[in-house]
Amino acid sequence: MSCVFCQIVEGTNPGDILFHDSRVMVFRDIHPQAPVHLLIIPKKHISSVTRLTGEDENLLPHMMTTAIEIAKREGLWGKGFRLVINSGQQGGQLVPHLHLHLLGGKQLSGQLG
């Protein structure tokens, strides 16, 4: 059985998909913590940032540049936004698939934990 994010990539679970290319997909978080709360995920299943290998060396930069382009499209450019990767249970990772949160659209708290 694949994880919920893999199911969105496969098209077997719906998602509000904003962008995809050969390596990543961007969709809206179903439990948003800000007016804009998007997830940038690799299409390849990688359970956590701690599971990246040498063959994935260009994946994180691609996820970051994708997030920046999407932030521009969502009207966050110049206003500010937050990019977050959680890792493991104590790090707040709820879905075991690497994902980058893009949050913005309001004044975000300085609290991170």
Helices and strands counted in the chain (H then E): 2, 5
Q: Name the catalytic one among 31, 45, 99, 101.
A: 99
Tell me, what's the pLDDT at 49? Answer: 97
Give me the mean pLDDT over the 12-16 stretch: 93
Tell me, what's the pLDDT at 10? Answer: 95
CA of 25: how far to CAs of 7, 35, 54, 78, 111, in Å? 12, 19, 21, 24, 28
* 105 pLDDT above the threshold of 60: yes
pLDDT in tens, 17-49: 999 999 999 999 999 999 999 999 999 999 999
The CATH code that applies to domain 4-104 is 3.30.428.10
* 103 pLDDT above the threshold of 90: yes
Asked if residues 23 and 100 have their Cβ atoms less than 8 Å apart, the reply is no
Query: What are the residue boundaries of the structural domains of the chain, listed by start?
Result: 4-104
pTM of the model: 0.94
Tell me, what's the pLDDT at 2? Answer: 81
Q: Is 28 helix (H, G, I), strand (E, B) or coil?
A: strand
Q: Provide, rounded to the nearest whole percent, the portion of the chain with pLDDT above 70.
A: 98
Active site residue 45: no
Neighbours of 67 (CB within 10 A): 21
* 113 pLDDT above the threshold of 90: no
